[in-house]
Amino acid sequence: MDPRLHLQSKSETFVRRVTSDPRWRIDDEQMCQVLGFTLHGYLFGIGRIHCLMNVEDIHAVAIEQLAGIGIGRKYVEGLIEVAHQEFTKENNQSWRNQLNGVGHAHALKDDLDVLVNSIFTNTELINEARGAKARKPFWKFWK
């Protein structure tokens, strides 16, 4: 099978599983970001390790997939660029890179249940963490 077609098939299967889940909300920007960063890591793992593809071709598949579900193309292009920058920074422990890592860790696995559920679990965890920070009065940081 053509490597690009293989990568597209893996991408479509994963994203279809996520977007057909009743928890999916296209209007939730955080959820779209979680999907984007996780998808980047997932496709990067498959594309580089299994298919030996170049980075630009992997990114093109990710961009087409995310734009194809209704996320704005320019937004997706920027998101994938940031995802790659985060992924290639040495010793990066950001939440974005951790999402890349989740996707990458599942790149060669056939069972997508854990990866699909991670989109919703990680979105909830990030929203909770941000909500807690947003409610904490700013002056508490200066004590």
Q: What is the pLDDT of residues 93-116, one digit of tens each?
A: 899 999 999 999 999 999 999 999
Q: Is residue 34 part of a domain?
A: yes
Q: Is residue 142 part of a domain?
A: no
Burial of 69 (0-12, 13-18, 19+ CB in 10 A): middle
Q: Is residue 75 part of a domain?
A: yes
Q: Is residue 143 part of a domain?
A: no
Give the C-alpha distances (Å, rounded to integers) separating 46 from 21, 70, 97, 100: 23, 24, 17, 13
Express each pLDDT in 23-67 by its tens digit: 999 999 999 999 999 999 999 999 998 889 999 999 999 999 999
Q: Is residue 108 part of a domain?
A: yes
Burial of 12 (0-12, 13-18, 19+ CB in 10 A): middle
Q: Is residue 59 part of a domain?
A: yes
Q: Is residue 130 part of a domain?
A: yes
Q: What is the pTM of this model?
A: 0.89
Number of independent structural domains in the chain: 1
Find the mean pLDDT for residues 107-126: 95
**Which residues lie below 8 Å from residue 37, measured CB to CB, with a gap of 6+?**
79, 83, 86, 96, 97, 99, 100, 103
pLDDT score of 141: 36
What domain range includes position 54?
A: 3-137
Do 57 and 29 contact (CB within 8 A), yes or no? no
pLDDT score of 67: 96
> N- to C-terminal Cα distance for the chain?
60
